[in-house]
Structure 1
Amino acid sequence: MRRKTFSTIFTLGITAGLLAGCGSGESVDQQDSDQQEGVQSADAYAGVVKTSIYVKGYEGGPGVPKLIIELEDAVDSVDPSGWQVMTAGSERTVTDVYTSDENGNPQENSNFIAIDMETGFNDETFSVIGSPFTYNTTTSMNEWSPAYEVAIAAPSITIKDETYSLSITENAVNNRISPDTDLFAARGTFSGSYVSPLTDQEEEVTLSTAAYEPEGLAEGEANPLVIWLHGQGEGGTDPDIAILGNEVSALAKEEIQSYFKTDDVTGAYVLAVQAPTYWMDEGDGTNGNGSGISRYTEILMDTINDYVAAHPDVDTDRIYLGGCSNGGYMTMNMVIQYPEYFAAAYPVCEAYAYYEYERNSDGTYVKASEEATGTSAFLKTGRVWFTEEKLQAIKDLPIWFVQSADDPVVVPANYLLPTYQALVQAGAENTWVSYFETVEGTDSPGTTYMGHFSWIYLFNNQVTGVQDKAAIAASTDAEIFGFEPSNATGGGTAAATVGETTYTNIFEWLNAQSR
């Protein structure tokens, strides 16, 4: 439904087709009649200061499950019946309305009203309904929407014993409240001059950072550091995009934080680093295919070192690196380039290519013609990019991979499967894979996401089972490589066991790894 229609509703009253959050047993016609009479008989309140959107990270990206209206006057009471809301052109189902504090927490005698709304996933747009992000098809990146229009119609609020209606239309894109991003309160940038691996020219580069630093953690002397590297769609200069594009805030919340322990201290630092373009950018500003060296390799290492130097309580023997897709590529690229630095890696749907791909004379990649293949895919050669030298550099590093077998973006047979088989055939012992059939969600039960979204299992703390190493090492199948994907048992039927210790999930294992 478009804005013109909703504006008409404001003029004519609340119609049956947009009823939301009504709990009475009246007929729709009776509700409509009563609500129209209420809207018409109550004066519109003229003291609305602003409307803010409450932005939360979900499995499928950011959503807006709450709106917060600020008024000039304290509200005596609010009737939750008959409220209508649209956000970003989507009709929303209202579940509750109440007075609150400025952050949307229930509070009596307040100048704020909070509106709770249902939030689901839109399979057609691959985004949460009412998302504040817009996907830029030119850059293949997420951005804050240039406008986020909120339209609200309400029949009854009471202020100073007077009853008023509400009629609000506002662009609230810059009125954002997000406890998820607020967790990453330590913000910064790191800049330097580096030689591009593609052009061989020196360039100025800047990375953006956001860190979660648990209160009281610095009281310890040796605390773990968990680093997260975003995917293709979360590049830029605003780390909020990287935190909300995937549910990265889960790394800073109690369930996952509770696995990281140092003596009597619980918790870990979490550092999210954002590239201005793509981690797979080799120097021409475009997204590569994982068979080259990122232009951000050196500056990322310097950024991490800079953060560690500023936090002397970080245990340099317990620095853990992970990321998804582009960030999974960069995780592999970094541990190959700096194999002695990290204690463990946890790449998700990693895009570090096993094979090389055809290049043009300027070093950019050749693409297959759409006429010939129906796609603009890169052309794979028979040469191996994950060479014996790289294999030997990381085969003794603890690594736990995560991916779904139906990933259409980073096809496992070109990336994870041959890479992992090579590692276990080379004798890698503390190296694991959780391999799922499909990506099933929990935010919206029954939702099956695109297979590339396997980071959902990580952030939902569902990575528990691992694949059978012996079967993979012995396999001669060049398509499935001995893997047997499993949703029912957390990615595999075995458990990660190192020596005499068996780990229940990836985070318990990660906490135990030390350089």
Structure 2
Amino acid sequence: MDTPLSRRTILAAGAGAAAGLSLPGVAARAGGHPPVTVRFRLNARVLDGGEQVTSITLDTSRLGPIDPAGLSTGTFGVHAKATSPIPIAPGDAIYSEYDLDRTVTAVRLDRHGDIVLELSHGEGQLGGGTLGYIAGRGRNVRLDLVYTITQLAPIVLRDHRSITISRFVQGRLSDPEVDAFSYHVSRSGMKYRLYSPAHGGRGRRPLIVWLHGGGEGASLPDNYYDNETTLRANRGALGFATPQAQRIFSGAYVVAPQSTSYWIEDGPRFAPLIREIVRELAHRYPVDRDRIYVAGCSNGGYMSMEMTTVYPDLFAASVPICGVVQSLEPGGPRLITDAELRRISTPTWLVTSRDDTTVPPGPNTLHAHDLIPGSLLTLYDHVVWNGYQFPGHWSWIYVARNDPSIGGTHIWQWMARQRR
């Protein structure tokens, strides 16, 4: 028996919030049964170009056994709105906000009996991202997401009854890779995320320190300091937490500190704060102090080199990616002097791309390679992955995929072999 209710639901909720409104006049299903309310979660995944919502899971298992043959891409409609969590100043702009319908590419039942709506997504595709870039701040922020679900056709159960949901309630944003990193704040107040390797085995574990780019620090003067964008903007830290990397490093801790501004703003001041986090982790967890590695991109590439000049005996290896060396001001002093580069004794593998127009390789990565004793270099022509060409500055994508290799040895294997 078909007992439909209103097919339109109106949702009012921010990212991770849970709130919903029914249409006026929808009080109960036919036959006196109460309205059907279903919660849903947003499922996200960090692509090389940043995190996107890739599917939605509706909590429908409690409705009864659903006939999957009755589900199609036309059963539900999805509208998404993404807005900045902080005010945008007059004359400023934020990129990647959106207010649009998202395409449902497939509908299926998961093993719990919940309905999963697969959404169109991909590199360079507008309308699925979880981050927005504020131009005047030079920062990524986690967007407030509001998803509205519209049921367009009844759900058919195996007993031939059909159900129309009266209200959808938005739940959390779920990204298993990001969620695997726990939240922490150091004694000095620097936020960081930590991945802990799976239990099992004996002995101490390596520690990999990932230092983010300029867009993932705090946004001042808004005091936006979220401990989120460091993991959601790219796969830099996540790559080292993948099963492949964990096998290569025999289980490693991965820590991603978040700067309170730009690393290049005052590297010598930030260096002790990062060292404090390393010290805390080495004291709290079974960290092998002879296998602590540092890697970072852009601002973080600079900071990776800066850390090895300030603490020459701390790291077993350093991987600066498209790192900044020259001054950002024409004619200004270098951020890292030639004398400091020549004194770096930490094994160093530098990575960049020839078409990087943000941090030109010549006066930065190539210059550092010429001066750092024994350093290795991987120089790409372009940044292309899975057939998609990214901006030339994004060479961290290659490191996150363990692509750089020299003489048959890939960069993760090289790192894992280094000892302090």
Same fold (TM > 0.5)? yes
Correspondences of 1:17-96 after superposition (within 5 Å): 46-71=35-60, 73-77=62-66, 78=68, 79-81=70-72, 82-83=74-75, 84-88=77-81, 89-96=99-106
CA distance in 2, matches of 1:402, 1:251: 16
Matched letter for residue 391 of structure 1: L
Residue aligning to 1:243: 231
Report which of the two structures shows the higher radius of gyration computed on alpha carbons: 1
- For the pair 1:339 / 2:290, whether they are aligned, the reply is no
Tell me the secondary structure at the aligned position of residue 323 of structure 1: strand
The alpha carbon displacement at 1:68 in A equals 1.4
- d(CA) in 1 for partners of 2:269, 2:107: 49
- Match of 2:154, SS state, is strand
Q: Is this contact kept in 2: 1:322–1:328, CA < 8 A? A: yes
Deviations 1:149-171 (A, max 9, x none): 3344341312564213457676x
Paired residue secondary structure (1:421): helix
Task: Give the 3-state SS of the residue equivalent to 1:510 in structure 2.
Answer: helix
**Aligned runs of 1:275-424 on 2, under 5 Å?**
275-282=259-266, 293-311=267-285, 313-351=286-324, 353-354=325-326, 356=327, 378-381=329-332, 386-394=336-344, 396-423=345-372
**2:163 is the alignment partner of 1:164:** yes
Q: Supply the distance in 1 between the matched residues of 2:349 and 2:276 (Cα, whole angstroms).
A: 24
Report the aligned-residue RMSD: 2.6
Q: 1:60, CA displacement in angstroms?
A: 0.4
User: 1:80-130, CA deviations, whole angstroms, 9 ceiling, x for partnerless residues?
Assistant: 321433333343332322233xxxxx323xxx321112311227xxxx641
Q: State the partner residue of 1:438.
A: 382
Task: Tell me which of 172, 177, 194 is aligned to 2:174.
Answer: 177
The 5 A counterparts of 1:187-202 are 187-192=183-188
Equivalent residue number for residue 119 of structure 1:
121
8 Å contact 1:50–1:70 — kept in the other structure? yes
User: 2:22 aligns to what?
Assistant: none
How many angstroms does 1:75 deviate by? 3.8
Mapping of residues 467-506 of structure 1, within 5 Å: 495=407, 503-506=408-411
Cα offset for 1:303?
1.4
Query: 2:399 maps to which residue?
Result: 458
Instruction: Determine which of 184, 196, 202 is the counterpart of 1:220.
Output: 202
The code of the aligned residue for 2:400 comes to: F
Deviation of residue 422 (structure 1)? 2.2
List per-residue Cα deviations over 1:266-314 (Å, max 9, x = no partner). 22111111122222222xxxxxxxxxx3432211111111111111x21
Contact 2:294 2:317 in 1 (8 A): yes
Cα gap change, 1:147 to 1:183, in 2 (>3 Å)? closer
Sequence identity of aligned pairs in percent?
Answer: 27
Whose RCO is larger (CA < 8 A, sep 6+)? 2
Q: Name 2:148's counterpart in structure 1.
A: 150
Amino acid in structure 2 at the alignment position of 1:346: V
Listed one character per residue, the Cα deviations across residues 423-458 of structure 1 (whole Å, up to 9, x for unaligned) are: 3xxxx22x211111111122xxx3211111111111
How many residue pairs are counted as aligned between the two chains?
364
Partner of residue 107, structure 1: 112
Q: Which residue of 2 aligns with 1:202?
A: none
Return 5+ residue gaps in structure 2 as ranges.
Answer: 1-6, 10-28, 82-98, 219-224
Q: Give 3-state SS (helix, strand or coil) of 2:346's partner.
A: coil
Q: Distance in 2 between matches of 1:459 and 1:142?
A: 19
What residue identity is the alignment partner of 1:506? I
What SS does the corresponding residue of 1:147 show, helix, strand or coil?
strand
Output one character per residue of 1:450-488: Cα deviation in whole Å (capped at 9) or x when no partner.
Answer: 1111111111221124xxxxxxxxxxxxxxxxxxxxxxx
